[in-house]
């Protein structure tokens, strides 16, 4: 008798839409594993920026960038993210790292280098994965797909509060501009552009609390699980 498939919930959306917070809480509620796919690109960016001798890998050297992604030594422990044995949970949230990560993520060879690593997070009893192409590329057969978004204004305010809480300086006007540019870059890239997966539930959290968004995703998952049970 074959083992039952490992359930996957994908939560995609643009930067600062709240998908990470929602995905973490949903995973915690269900006892599932959690994948912050964006962190992998930020870890790659941080690794590139910290390159020996202070000479970052240039963006036009796709082979070297892909190699850096392929040889990431990272692991996750709860809300903490480690590069080698260093906790870089705060370091990867710096705006400079995020901007470089967005540019690196547009390179097909880098995305391919991280493909297998992302798939490896699918383990029993289940996985909640957040990112930009979780439901379209990495886990296209996920049992529940959600595309979570919010207005640029709401997202800029959330990002501002996150940065201030972590001790970084921030400017609302600059954040709004950066978010708009990232949205355009992520949506228009040739490889795995940001878009809602086929069959995904759309969730605009502009006027929602994190608790309300989590409750909605859990409600959808319960319904999808019940429907699947009826079809067996």
Average pLDDT across the chain, whole number: 90
Residue 16 marked in a binding site = yes
Residue 165, domain CATH: 3.40.50.300
Residue 21 marked in a binding site = yes
Q: Is residue 3 part of a domain?
A: no
SS (H, E, C) 45-97: HHHHHCCHHHCCCCCCCHHHHHHHHHCCCEEEECCEEEECCEECCCHHHCHHH
Residue 140 marked in a binding site = no
Residue 14 marked in a binding site = yes
pLDDT tens, residue by residue, 83-139: 988 999 999 988 889 889 988 988 999 999 999 999 999 999 999 999 999 999 999
CB 24 within 8 A of CB 18: no
The confidence band for 180, taking pLDDT boundaries of 50, 70 and 90, is very high
Model confidence at 34: pLDDT above 90: yes
**Number of domains observed in the structure of the chain:** 1
Q: Is residue 231 part of a domain?
A: no
pLDDT tens, residue by residue, 199-221: 999 999 999 999 999 999 999 99
Distance CA 102, CA 106 (A): 7
Residue 18 marked in a binding site = yes
In this predicted structure, what is the pLDDT of residue 218? 98
Q: Is residue 216 part of a domain?
A: yes
In this predicted structure, what is the pLDDT of residue 128? 97
Q: Is residue 67 part of a domain?
A: yes
Q: Is residue 232 part of a domain?
A: no
Q: Is residue 133 part of a domain?
A: yes
Residue 39 marked in a binding site = no
Residue 225 marked in a binding site = no
Q: Is residue 2 part of a domain?
A: no
Domain hosting residue 171, numbered range: 8-226
Residue 103 marked in a binding site = no
The confidence band for 4, taking pLDDT boundaries of 50, 70 and 90, is confident
Model confidence at 29: pLDDT above 60: yes
The pTM of this model reads 0.88
Q: Is residue 159 part of a domain?
A: yes
Of the candidates 60, 36, 37, the one whose C-alpha atom is nearest the C-alpha of residue 48 is 60
């Amino acid at each position: 008798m074959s083992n039952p498939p490992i359930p996957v919930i994908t939560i995609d959306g643009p930067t600062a839409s709240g998908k990470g917070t929602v995905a973490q809480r949903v995973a915690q509620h269900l006892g599932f594993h959690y994948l912050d796919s964006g962190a992998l690109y930020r870890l790659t960016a941080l690794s590139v920026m910290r390159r020996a001798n202070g000479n970052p890998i240039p963006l036009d050297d796709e082979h070297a960038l892909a190699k850096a992604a392929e040889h990431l030594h990272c692991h996750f422990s709860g809300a903490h993210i480690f590069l080698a044995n260093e906790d870089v949970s705060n370091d990867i949230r710096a705006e400079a790292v995020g901007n470089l990560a967005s540019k690196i993520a547009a390179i097909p060879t880098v995305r391919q280098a991280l493909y297998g690593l992302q798939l490896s997070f699918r383990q029993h009893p289940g996985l909640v994965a957040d990112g930009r192409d979780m439901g379209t590329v990495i886990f296209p057969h996920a049992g529940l797909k959600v595309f979570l978004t919010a207005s640029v204004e709401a997202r800029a305010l959330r990002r501002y509060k996150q940065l201030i809480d972590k001790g970084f300086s921030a400017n609302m006007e600059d954040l709004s501009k950066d978010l708009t540019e990232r949205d355009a870059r992520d949506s228009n890239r040739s490889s795995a552009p940001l878009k809602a997966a086929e069959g995904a539930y759309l969730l605009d959290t502009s006027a929602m609390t994190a608790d309300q968004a989590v409750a909605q995703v859990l409600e959808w998952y319960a319904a999808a699980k019940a429907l699947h049970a009826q079809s067996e």
